[in-house]
Amino acid sequence: MNYPQVAAQLFNRPLLAHRGHAQALAQSMAPRIFGGQVSYAGEWSAGIVGEPLREERDWNGERVYQGPRMVDGSPVAVIEAEGALVSKGKWIGALCDATSYEGIHAQITDCRRNSDIKAAILEVDSFGGSVAGAFSCADAIHRLAQEKPVLAVLTDHACSAAYLLASAASAIVMPATGLAGSVGVIMLHADFSKAYDKAGIVITPIFSGAHKDDYSPFRALDEDVFNKAKAEADTVRDMFVTAVARYRSGRIDAKQLLATEADTYLGADAAKIGLVDEIADPLLAAEAFVAEVSRKAA
């Protein structure tokens, strides 16, 4: 089967993803999107309004989502943001190496509503993903952090959209060997025109509306379309910078974020410029956080 939903988000749209992740996505998904052999893995469903994730059931009729995962014997919930970040799809963990903003939203809602949950750990290990839903999800994390402590624990990487989510937490802890940053936007355009020429295939687009054929994969990207795409990427980057500067006010500002030019930073360097708050072993940092929250809740 092909993946039109994935193709629509992967190509010709801004991505909040690290360049390496974007390239890997393109290389791995292109055969599937454009007609490779792929086995069917089940029905793909999605939705946000009304949080339909709560009604999703597995093959055995059991609910897929049963609330946030709690650290045993504590009032601390764990919200995962691992693998590719996508807008919808019911994923709430590292299943299929993806996490949906939809799933994170549901867990945040429960953390805010449940008075027994006193704090949350946002466990992040991702190179980023989709713009769609990212800013809304980050704002939801920030609202939760205004009500209850939220510690973002980077078990390895938090790049682009993943860093946007982490920045909305009360504080960020990362290991010395992890990566953080990539505060920027990337777009991909696939040009198959030469391949079709070689195959002797001529594709003639027939369309109404001057911009209807923009980003066509059957010809090289026009300069004016490239400039329009660049302007769109700049706009999303400005939104990204503004959001992070607001979430991490007093620790890093918009000018400093722009100066990173979407670079990524190892632990010590990330802490030095204010992208994160502390360098520590993720497990030890999480244990200390849980112990402190539990002590205050006792």
Task: Please compute the mean of the pLDDT values over residues 25-36 and round it to a whole number.
Answer: 52
pTM over 0.85: no
Give the pair of three-digit tokens for residue 137.
């999800």
Q: Is residue 168 scored above 50 in pLDDT?
A: yes
Q: What is the mean pLDDT of the chain?
A: 85
All structural domains of the chain: 4-41+57-297 (3.90.226.10)
Taking only the tens place, the pLDDT of each residue in 219-253 is 899 999 999 999 999 999 999 999 999 999 999 99
Selected catalytic residue, list 45, 136, 212, 272 = 212
Taking only the tens place, the pLDDT of each residue in 113-155 is 999 999 999 999 999 999 999 999 999 999 999 999 999 999 9
How would residue 46 be classed by pLDDT, with cut points 50, 70 and 90? very low
**246 neighbors 253 (Cβ within 8 angstroms):** no
Q: Residues 67-100, buried b or exposed e (16+ Cβ, 10 A)?
A: ebbebeebbbbbbbbbbbbbbbbbbbbebeebbb
Nearest to 2 by CA among 35, 30, 44: 35
**133 neighbors 101 (Cβ within 8 angstroms):** yes
pLDDT at res. 229: 92
Higher pLDDT, 273 or 66: 273
The answer to whether 212 is a known catalytic residue is yes
Q: Is residue 47 scored above 70 in pLDDT?
A: no
SS (H, E, C) the chain: CCCHHHHHHHCCCCEEECHHHHHHHHHHHHHHHCCCCCCCCCCCCCCCCCCHHHHCECCCCCECCCCCEECCCCCEEEEEEECEEECCCCCCCCHHHEEEHHHHHHHHHHHHHCCCCCEEEEEEEECEEECCCHHHHHHHHHHHHHHCCEEEEEEEEEECHHHHHHHCCCEEEECCCCEEECCCCECCCCCCHHHHHHHCCCCCCCCCCCCCCCCCCCCCCCHHHHHHHHHHHHHHHHHHHHHHHHHCCCCCCHHHHHHCCCCEEEHHHHHHHCCCCEECCHHHHHHHHHHHHHHHHC
pLDDT at res. 42: 37
How would residue 2 be classed by pLDDT, with cut points 50, 70 and 90? very low
pLDDT at res. 87: 87
Q: Is residue 292 scored above 80 in pLDDT?
A: yes
Task: Compute how many other C-beta atoms are within 10 angstroms of the C-beta atom of residue 132.
Answer: 16
pLDDT at res. 93: 60
Contacts of 170 (CB under 8 A, 6+ apart): 145, 149, 150, 151
Q: Is residue 4 scored above 50 in pLDDT?
A: no
Q: Is residue 277 scored above 90 in pLDDT?
A: yes
Task: Please compute the mean of the pLDDT values over residues 185-211 and round it to a whole number.
Answer: 90
pLDDT at res. 118: 98
Selected catalytic residue, list 100, 126, 130, 160 = 160
Q: Is residue 90 scored above 80 in pLDDT?
A: no
Task: Please compute the mean of the pLDDT values over residues 14-20 and round it to a whole number.
Answer: 63
